[in-house]
Amino acid sequence: MTEGRNFLVIMMDELARDGMGCYGGAGITPHMDKLAASGTRFSNAYTPSPICVPARAAFQSGRYVFQNRCWTNAQPYFGEPEGWAHRLKAEGHETVSIGKLHYRSSDDDNGYMREIEPLHVSGGIGWVHGLLRREDATCFDTSGFVKGAFPGNDSYSDYDRRVRDASVKWLTDAGTADREKPWAAFVSFLRPHYPLTCPKEYLDLYDPDTLPPIRFEGAEKEYRHPVIQANRSYNDYDDHFEDDFQRNLARACYFGLCSFVDDLVGDVLKALEDSGQAENTIVVLTADHGDMNGHKGLWTKMVMYEDSAGIPLILSGPGVAAGAVCNTQASLIDVHRTALDACGVAPSAQDQAIHSKSLMDLAAAPDDETRAVFSEFHDGGSITGYMMLREGRWKYIHYPGFPPQLFDLENDPFETEDLGLTAAHADIRRHLLSRMKFEFTDPDEINRMCFADQAARIEELGGIEGIYARGNYDFTPVE
C-alpha cells in the first residue's frame, strides 16, 4: 500500500480510445499522451456499462451494475452503497468533486465534502423514457445529433471551461493548505459527449476528408442479430445523415472535442505541477464509456463493441512505471480500490467491492490474461439485457432469450466476424458463460431482476402515461 498520497481522477464523458493519440487513435491529445508516457496505460479497460448513470454509480461504489441496481439513466446513484469517496472522507481525507457527477442530487451524501459545479441527472430523476425499453413509441428524436455537428461554442463547452477554471483554482489552493491527511479530487468533464458543436480552432485541426474511414465491415450481417437490429432502429442516428460528407464532419467534430478537452486536461495537470503536489499525487485519467463514432453504422454508445464499451485508462504518479502498457483486463470499478490504495486506507470488512482491484497491483502484473471483467446494458433500445465478459482474447456477450455474440479480439480487433453461433467455438462459449455465472452471477437472473426493478420504477413515475408526460431529450441539459 502506498501511504499518504493524494488522489486525482480526471474523467471525460464518452471518450473512446480512438479519440486519443496514445491509443493509436486519430485524436490529437498531446497532454493526455504526455500523462500516458509518464505512467502506465491500460490497453484492455472497460466500462461497467456503456451509458452514463450506471457507469458512474459503478465507478463510485466499485460494484458492478447488477450489484448497485442503478440500471439506467433514470435510476441514479444516491450515495448508496457507499463508495471510495465515502471511505476516504470517513478516514479524515478531504474529498471534492468538480464537474459532472450524474447522480441523483447534491442533497444526497455522495461522499464528497464539496461538490463544485456539480451536474446531476435532470430534475433528480433523469432520462425516464429508456425505462420502457421495448416500447418503440418512446424513441426520442435523434435528428438533432446531425444538426448539432458544426463549428461553434455551446453550453457543454462553456461548462467544461468552468470545470477547468474551478479545478485549477482548487488545486492551486490545495497546494498551500495545511492538512494532516492527503486529499482526493474527482474532476469530471462533459466533452467529447455530444452535442457535436465544436469550437472552430479545434475543428480546424481535422480535415474531414482525410480522417480514418468509418469501419462498416460486417455491419449489415450483424444487423440481422435481433438485439443489435432493435438497438439500431431505436438509436437511429445514422439515418439522419444525408451523405458521407455529413458523417465525416460529425466525426471531425468529435475528434475536435477530444482535442478541446485535452487542452483543459493540460491546464489541470499544469496546475497540479505548479502547486508542487504532482510528486505526491496518484493520477487516474479515464472515461465513463466510449463512442461508436459511426463505426458499424452506430453512433454514441449503448452497445458492447470495443469503441463503445472500451475505455481509455491511464495511471500515473509516484511508484508507477513510466511508459508502460498493461494488457491485463481492467475496469472502471477498479478506481474504488485504487483510491483506497493511493491514500493509505485499508478496505473495510464490510466493503462489498469484491471485484475491484487496485490499478497499481494490476500494473505490476501487466500481462495477466486470467482476469475477466464484466459489463452490462439495460437502457433504451435494449429488448433484453446485454451482459459482456472479456477474458483474454475473447469477448462474449450474452443476450437472454437471444443468440450470443463472440469475438476473437486477438485476430479480429474490429469485431467483424461474429462467432456466436459457430460450432467450432461452442466450447469456448460454454466456458465463458459458465465463468460469467460462477464469478459474477446468472445473466438470466440479472435480466429478470432488472426488468422487475424497472417495472416498479415506471409505476413510481405514474406508469407509462407518466413516462410519456415527461419531456424527452437526447442529452442532459446544462442550466
The per-residue pLDDT for range 298-355, each reduced to its tens digit, is 999 999 999 999 999 999 999 999 999 999 999 999 999 999 999 999 887 677 788 9
What homologous superfamily does CATH list for 6-128+143-365?
Alkaline Phosphatase, subunit A (3.40.720.10)
Sheet with 372-377, side-by-side order of all strands: 372-377, 386-391, 394-398, 405-408
Mind listing the pLDDT tens digit for each residue in 142-151?
889 999 999 9
Of 179, 170, 249, give the one whose Cα is nearest residue 211.
249
Sign of CA dihedral 193, 443, 75, 142: positive
User: Is the separation of the CB atoms in 117 and 163 below 8 Å?
Assistant: yes
pLDDT at 176 over 90: no
Q: Would you state the pLDDT for residue 223? A: 66
Q: What is the mean pLDDT of residues 284-304?
A: 96
What is the per-residue pLDDT for 353?
Answer: 80
Segment (H or E) for 389: strand 386-391
Per-domain residue ranges of the chain: 6-128+143-365
What is the pLDDT confidence band of residue 374, given thresholds at 50, 70 and 90? Answer: very high
Q: Which residues contact 332 (CB under 8 A, 6 or more apart)?
A: 45, 46, 47, 48, 55, 58, 59, 286, 288, 311, 313
Flag whether pLDDT at 228 surpasses 80: yes
> Among 168-172, 174-178, 317-321, where is mean pLDDT lowest?
174-178
Closest to 308 in 3D by CA, of 384, 388, 244, 403: 388
* Average pLDDT of the chain, as a whole number: 94
- Widest distance between CA atoms in the chain: 65
Q: Give all strands (DSSP E) within 274-371, no chain letters.
A: 281-287, 310-311, 313-316, 324-326, 330-331
Distance CA 91, CA 321 (A): 28
Distance CA 396, CA 117 (A): 39
Strand, helix or coil at 311? strand
Predicted confidence (pLDDT) at residue 38 exceeds the cutoff of 50: yes
**pLDDT band for position 1 (50/70/90)?**
very low
H helical segments located in 22-106: 30-38, 52-61, 65-68, 84-90
3-class SS of residue 394: strand
Q: Would you place residue 2 in the very low, low, confident or very high pLDDT band (cuts 50, 70, 90)?
A: very low
CA within 13 Å, CB half, 21: 13
The grid cell for 323 is 511508459
244-274 vs 155-174: helix axis angle to the nearest 10? 10
In tens, the pLDDT along 110-121 reads 999 999 999 999
Model pLDDT, residue 220: 65
- Listed in sequence order, the residues at least 6 apart from 175 whose beta carbon sits closer than 8 Å to its beta carbon are 274, 275, 276, 277
| In contact, 13 and 6? CB cutoff 8 Å | no
- The dihedrals phi and psi of 368, each to the nearest 5 degrees, come to -85, 105
What is the length of the chain?
Answer: 479
- Torsion sign over Cα 454, 51, 467, 79: positive
Nearest to 314 by CA among 57, 38, 99, 52: 38
Q: What are phi and psi of 314, to 5 degrees?
A: -130, 135
Determine the Cα–Cα distance for residues 360 and 330; give it in Å rounded to an integer. Answer: 11
pLDDT of residue 472: 87
267 near 164, Cβ under 8 Å? yes
Q: State the average pLDDT over residues 282-297.
A: 96
Do residues 62 and 335 make contact, with C-beta atoms less than 8 angstroms apart? yes
**Average pLDDT estimate for 258-264:** 98
Which residue bears the cell 486529499? 183
Alpha carbons 312 and 29: distance in angstroms, whole number:
12
DSSP 162-197: HHHHHHHHHHHHHTT---SS-EEEEEEEEEESSP--
Give the rounded percent of residues in the chain with a pLDDT score beyond 70: 97
CA-nearest of 43, 58, 72 to 355 is 58
Is the pLDDT reported for residue 135 higher than 70?
no
